[in-house]
Amino acid sequence: MSVSTTDLAVTPDQYSPVLNSNGEYSDALPYGRTNSHWYCPCSNAHAFKRSALTAHFRSKKHQRWLSNMNANRENHLTQFIEAQRTIKSQTRIIAEQQKSICRTQNRVAGLEHIIRKRDERVQELEAQLYLLKCIDGAEELDHKI
């Protein structure tokens, strides 16, 4: 079965503005494939080709969005730092949970081993009991004869 390039679905990339030398957000065409599509966060999931993205940058809606991004860039930095702290904290919590899970799995494996050994011992004892009953039964049979 051959697959042509028209059969493949291309997922658009997320566009984001860059910080210029003044520390302000500005638009720049993304590097990479020239035939790619991009989503702009201001456009409610509308995908743009490279040429349409350039025209989109000049739209009033996009300009308002970019202006808002610049007006709130300190908040974005604060949110970014807070998100980094959260990620670090959650990474630590996940690592602790993974260690706890590993310890629990090891304990369960140890208990399963103990149970298997006890089950084997119970089977041995049941076999011995059966033999003893057989011997007892044979002795009783000898006494009756």
15-48: pLDDT as tens digits: 888 888 888 889 988 776 666 788 888 887 678 8
Token pair 């208990």 is found at 111
In a domain, 90, yes or no: no
For residue 107, being part of any structural domain is answered with no
Q: How many CA atoms lie within 13 A of 111 on its CB side?
A: 6
Looking at the 3D structure of the chain, how many domains does it have?
Answer: 1
Whether 12 maps to a domain, the answer reads yes
What 8-state DSSP symbol labels residue 59?
S
**128 found inside a domain:** no
User: What is the C-alpha separation between 26 and 111, in angstroms, rounded?
Assistant: 61
pTM here is: 0.50
Asked if residue 25 is part of any domain, the answer here is yes
Tokens read off for 7: 């059969």
CB contact at 8 A, 25 and 71: no
Residue 141 belongs to some domain of the structure? no
Q: Tell me the residue range of the domain where 41 lies.
A: 1-71
Q: To the nearest 10°, report the CA torsion of 56, 60, 66, 72.
A: -160
Segment 74-120, tens digit of pLDDT: 888 889 899 999 999 999 999 999 999 999 999 999 999 999 999 99
